[in-house]
């Protein structure tokens, strides 16, 4: 029976052992205010239980042995694929397990990219994570494709008005963040879809920052490729997903070669398995994949309308508090419209690493730096920023601890 979704912030929080008072060594019984969810979220008990079950009762390699453990491991691994597929409203055959978003995008650059010719164009944007920039630069070196970028507005949104100018008939792929990992801005998909459709380009969405905020109905998005990481959505590190339209997966050559992705190998030739296994060379991250299956089950048990409202209230509390601090500038939308609870800011005269260190002294975990988005920070004329990012287990105490820590950082650093 599927769970009946509900949302009670206190019991949600209680499912995460690391968030309990005294759980983190050296904190003298205090609790951590974890606001670095955009880097990696925390892991709830049901996911930890699934990992322990696999490691203690099912552990073996998959798709190889015929003994009972091998069969149990294969069933659990493929069961996880089925859960992820259901979560995204797509078929199991279109779910390729990877090590994360970065690897998923590299698979597209390596496999789909191999079908491109010199002079073909790939359009990204100024706000992309390096994971959605560097694979295209490498492809440009290998195949002579041209990488172009959409600009970003002063509010930290991709400037879709520039699509008409930037997307030409040579464009074969538009690859954009579904949600920015710095500004929290949600992509305005309709004009992007229209621009891709007008020139017959494929559309890749980097969903790393979207998937932690509730289920995604992939067919409704109308994209061709979707990439995300487990560790940002309550699952273990080392697992991610590339989804692609079935025709694309069938047509693409493999990217990496090895065991598990073949149909037959002779000393001179290899024929390849059908997708998704064609793109899963070598032993996959079995335990982490099972953990991802448990994570999407956990996500399915959350009432996301209520969780999103909770996140909005906390984001507003954060934005109001930040707006009251002199010398502080938010990089991204200053209101709730078109954004999620990822908020980056710059404090005049203070290095983001120093700000993050002062915050740590207040038991607040935040990220300071360029967040693997150097072009975006350059766009705003800064080397880095401090980022606070929310998950459903955060509460007003976390936000108030952040604001108190920033007041201290202003006193000490600015």
Active site residues: 372
Q: Total residues contacting ligand PLP (rule CB under 6 A)?
A: 14
Q: How far apart are CA 284 and CA 61, in angstroms?
A: 9
Q: How far apart are CA 163 and CA 179, in angstroms?
A: 18
Q: Which residue has the tokens 């149909």?
A: 263
Should residue 102 be labelled a site residue for ligand PLP when binding is judged by CB under 6 A?
yes
Should residue 183 be labelled a site residue for ligand PLP when binding is judged by CB under 6 A?
no
The nearest distance, CB 178 to ligand PLP, in angstroms, is 8
Q: How far is CA 303 from CA 213, 226, 296, 310, 411, in A?
A: 11, 24, 13, 11, 40
Cis peptide before 276 (omega within 30 of 0): yes
DSSP 214-260: S---HHHHT-SEEEEESTTTTS-TT-EEEEE-HHHHHHSPPSS-STT
Residue 341: DSSP 8-state? S
Should residue 208 be labelled a site residue for ligand PLP when binding is judged by CB under 6 A?
yes
The nearest distance, CB 348 to ligand PLP, in angstroms, is 26
Q: Which of 58, 120, 121, 206 binds ligand PLP (CB under 6 A)?
A: 206
Residue 40 or 74: the one with the smaller Cβ distance to ligand PLP is: 40
Should residue 315 be labelled a site residue for ligand PLP when binding is judged by CB under 6 A?
no
269-294: b or e for each residue (b if 16 or more CB lie within 10 Å)? eeebbebbbbbbbeebbbbbbbbbbb
Should residue 286 be labelled a site residue for ligand PLP when binding is judged by CB under 6 A?
no
State the binding string over 34-53 for ligand PLP (x if CB under 6 A, else -): ----x---------------
Q: Which of 73, 108, 150, 177 binds ligand PLP (CB under 6 A)?
A: 177
Should residue 299 be labelled a site residue for ligand PLP when binding is judged by CB under 6 A?
no
State the binding string over 232-251 for ligand PLP (x if CB under 6 A, else -): --------------------
Q: How far apart are CA 354 and CA 100, in angstroms?
A: 29
The nearest distance, CB 36 to ligand PLP, in angstroms, is 10
Detail the DSSP E strand segments found in 58-100: 95-98
Q: How far apart are CA 226 and CA 299, in angstroms?
A: 18
The nearest distance, CB 39 to ligand PLP, in angstroms, is 6
Q: Which of 13, 81, 83, 129 binds ligand PLP (CB under 6 A)?
A: 129
- Consecutive H or E run containing 29: none
| Interface positions with ligand PLP (CB under 6 A) | 38, 100-102, 129, 131-132, 177, 181, 206, 208-209, 229, 372
């Amino acid at each position: 029976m599927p769970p009946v979704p509900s949302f009670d912030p206190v019991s949600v929080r209680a499912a995460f052992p690391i968030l309990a008072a005294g759980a983190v060594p050296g904190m003298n019984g205090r609790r951590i205010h974890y606001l670095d969810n955009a880097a990696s979220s925390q892991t709830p008990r049901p996911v930890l239980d699934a990992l322990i079950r696999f490691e203690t009762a099912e552990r073996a390699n998959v798709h190889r042995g015929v003994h009972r453990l091998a069969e149990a491991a294969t069933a659990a691994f493929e069961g996880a694929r089925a859960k992820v597929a259901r979560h995204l409203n797509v078929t199991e055959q279109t779910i390729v397990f990877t090590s994360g978003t970065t690897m998923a995008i590299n698979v597209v650059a390596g496999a789909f990219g191999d079908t491109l010719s010199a002079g073909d164009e790939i359009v990204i944007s100024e706000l992309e994570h390096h994971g959605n920039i560097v694979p295209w630069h490498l492809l440009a070196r290998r195949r002579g494709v041209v990488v172009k970028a959409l600009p970003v507005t002063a509010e930290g949104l991709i400037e879709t008005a520039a699509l008409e100018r930037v997307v030409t008939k040579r464009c074969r792929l538009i690859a954009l963040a579904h949600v920015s990992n710095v500004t929290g801005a949600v992509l305005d998909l309709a004009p992007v879809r229209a621009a891709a459709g007008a020139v017959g380009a494929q559309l890749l969405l980097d969903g790393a920052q979207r998937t932690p905020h509730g289920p995604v109905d992939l067919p409704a998005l109308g994209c061709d490729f979707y990439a995300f990481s487990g560790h940002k959505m309550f699952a273990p590190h080392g697992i991610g997903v590339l989804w692609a339209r079935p025709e694309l997966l069938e047509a693409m050559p493999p990217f990496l070669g090895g065991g598990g992705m073949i149909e037959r190998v002779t000393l001179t030739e290899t024929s390849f398995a059908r997708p998704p296994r064609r793109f899963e060379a070598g032993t996959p991250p079995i335990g982490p994949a099972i953990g991802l299956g448990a994570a999407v089950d956990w996500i399915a048990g959350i009432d996301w309308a209520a969780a999103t409202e909770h996140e909005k209230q906390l984001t507003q509390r954060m934005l109001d508090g930040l707006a009251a601090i002199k010398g502080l500038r938010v990089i991204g939308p200053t209101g709730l419209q078109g954004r999620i609870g990822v908020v980056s800011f710059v404090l005049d005269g203070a290095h983001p690493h120093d700000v993050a260190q002062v915050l740590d002294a207040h038991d607040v975990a935040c990220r300071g730096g360029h967040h693997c988005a150097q072009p975006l920070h350059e766009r705003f004329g800064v080397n880095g920023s401090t980022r606070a990012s929310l998950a459903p287990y955060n509460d007003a105490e976390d936000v108030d601890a952040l604001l108190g820590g920033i007041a201290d950082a202003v006193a000490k650093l600015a």
